[in-house]
Structure formats: structure tokens, C-alpha cells
A = this chain, B = another copy of it.
Amino acid sequence: MAQENLSVVLRSQGDLRLENLPIPEPGPDDVLLQMHSVGICGSDVHYWQHGRIGDFVVRKPMVLGHEAAGVVVKTGSAVKHLKIGDRVAIEPGVPRDMDEFFKNGRYNLSPSIFFCATPPDNGNLCRYYKHNANFCYKLPDNVTFEEGALIEPLSVGIHACRRGGVTLGSTVFICGSGPIGLVCLLVAKAMGASKVIISDIVPERLSMAKELGADFQLQVKRENGPQQLAKSVEDLLGAQPHVTIECTGVESSVQTAIYATRSGGVVVLVGLGSEMATIPLINAAVREVDIRGVFRYCNTWPMAINMLASGKVNVKPLVTHRFPLEQAVQAFETTRQGVGIKVMLKCNQNDQNP
């Protein structure tokens, strides 16, 4: 095993560096992983640029990265289901307390949860990383490391579609064609949605959505009002969508989402905007359009692995850029510029394959 552990460290707002950190020692319930592929997320870039997201503030150096897959190189004494050499995908959130949320199966809501690269918890953009083995999932041979890493954003899409109740024959409106909007698109289709319409303001993002299977694209212009956009959605689909998944966080887009959705349907809020939002709440209430938030995900990795192994979903086209770990700063700059969809960092010098 290498004696160094090159890591992408955010020392403070704007100060992103590669540093050599000690290789951690796994506790009894942990595994030590040699990292293989780690995607860069919008939140990683946000911490770098702004030093905080909401109440989470970077107060001390933190390793970034939470969309990750690697190989087991050491197992804690109590670990039974994994062994050295296993290829695994990492679920970055690990509940610390056996509180009511955990016991009820909604551990993502546990306030004390550990989460990679959310201050003060370190992420896994590095060579060697230890993680609770119960939140590492063995990948079948026909699922690549990069697919494994992409389970993290995919999980947001799974949780969103699940909370929205997307099912066979559903019509779905997705606001925003960023990486998160796109994974929602892929998942909605895989769950049987018959028609998906997706919006964005940037035409390139809509083209990508079209390639990934969106049935209709709606280009949003500054001058379009929410009710007008809602009308366009209805006209294109032939009826109002059963489910709308908001993936921009923009206030006017949330308004459009509500107006657009069919009575008795659901608006899922994935995008995170400003603290207060002004929305047509009565319109939602009297048509019983439920508004349901999404906070990350829970219980998605096993189903995601099943999906990927069976080819129900193809996430490979989401990876548009790859950089070796050594070029992390350049990779972050690429993500910051919004070029492509997903940038992958390759953490293993001897294996830079997908």
C-alpha cells in the first residue's frame, strides 16, 4: 500500500489544494478503501467558491468529494459482508445516532448524520479513505467504478421520483436540465413515465436532455411568466403532468411547477433556493397538489445497483470529462464553468479506466 494519501483539501473559501494526508486506520465497523473514481458535485464547487452552504460553514480544512467508488484494501474486525479486493460504491451519509429517523427508515433526516464533504466531515476525493462498511455496497462485475460513483447523484433522482410517486404511465415535468434534472429524467423513464418534459434556459442543456431521452424540451426565457410556462407544458403534453420535479431552486420555476401540475399531483422540490420563497400556495392547496421536499436520499444504493447491473438505466453518458486526481484544481475549474455534465476524478494512478 502506498505511504502517501494525496487529497483534495478545501482549506478555506477559495483555497483548494492537493495535500498529502495520513492514510486513515479503519475502526472495527469500517473498511479502508483505495479510491478509484470520484465525481465533482455542484456542492463541492459551492463550498470552494462560497465557503458555506446555508448553515454549513467550512471552518477548518476539509477533504471534498462524495460521489465515489473504490476498492476495499483493509477491513475492520467486525466487518463481515466485505473482503479485500471488493469493488464498492460509497453511500456518503452514515447516521451516527439510532434516533427515531433511523429506526423509521428515514435516516437521511437524522440531524447528527455524518456526510462526506459537508463541514466538518471529510469527503473522499483522495487516494485512501475509510468508511463505515455498512454504507459500502459491493459492485457486480458488470458495473464500472464510474457507474458506482454516479449512484450518488442518481440516488437524488431515485429519491425524488419515489417521493413524487412516479410510476407506469406517469407524465412528468422536470424543471432544470443540470446534472440533477438529468438523473431525474433517467430515473423517471426507468420507472415507466410515459412522457417527460424538461425545461432550462440554456439550449445546450436541453439538447443533452433530448439525447438522454426527454420527450419534450421547454426553453425558458426571461419574459415568460410562470402561468404562461405552465400552459406551454400542458399544451405540449396534451394534459397537465402528474408529477413535477423542480431542480433549479429558482423561485419563478417553483411557481411554474405549482401552476403546471395536475390536481391531485405532486411537486417535488429538489432544487434549493433562497430561505424564503413567494409561491401560489392557495393554487396548490385547493387542487391538492402536494409539495414534497427531497433531502438527499435513503435506501437507494441496492436498488440503484440492481438498475445499473440490469441495464435499466444508462448513466455512462453523464460523464463528459475525466482528470487524474493530480489535476483536481483544473477539474474543479471545469465544473465551475458549467461545461459538460459530470467531471470524474481518477484517484488510482494505476487504473484510470471508467
Contact = CB atoms under 8 A, between A and B. Distances in A.
B101 A264 contact: yes
A14 interface: no
The interface centre, meaning the residue of A104, A107, A273, A282 with most chain B CB atoms within 10 A of its CB, is: A282
Contacts of A236: none
A254 B169 CA distance: 30
Interface string A152-181: 000000100111000111110000000000
Contact of A282 (B108, B272, B285): B272
Contacts of A163: 288
A291 B267 CA distance: 10
A22 interface: no
A269 interface: yes
Contact of A191 (B192, B283, B303): B192
Given A105-B104, A312-B168, A192 B290 contact: no
Given A192-B190, A192-B312, A277-B282, A293 B288 contact: yes
Interface stretch (A64-72, A116-124, A294-302, A314-322): A294-302
A274 B282 CA distance: 7
Contact of A288 (B111, B192, B277, B295): B295
Contact of A302 (B100, B286, B287, B304): B100
Contacts of A278: 276-278
A83 B54 CA distance: 34
A329 interface: no
A272 B286 contact: yes
Given A264-B109, A288-B109, A292-B290, A167 B169 contact: no
A21 interface: no
Interface in A218-261: 254
A294 B299 CA distance: 23
Given A103-B298, A284-B291, A285-B293, A309 B272 contact: no
Given A195-B310, A274-B282, A277-B278, 7 more contacts: A167-B167, A192-B192, A192-B312, A195-B306, A276-B281, A278-B278, A291-B291
Interface of A: 54, 98, 100-101, 103-109, 111, 134, 158, 161-163, 167-171, 187, 190-192, 194-195, 215, 254, 263-264, 269, 272-295, 298-299, 302-304, 306-307, 309-310, 312
7 contacts: A104-B105, A111-B263, A167-B303, A169-B306, A275-B280, A277-B278, A278-B278
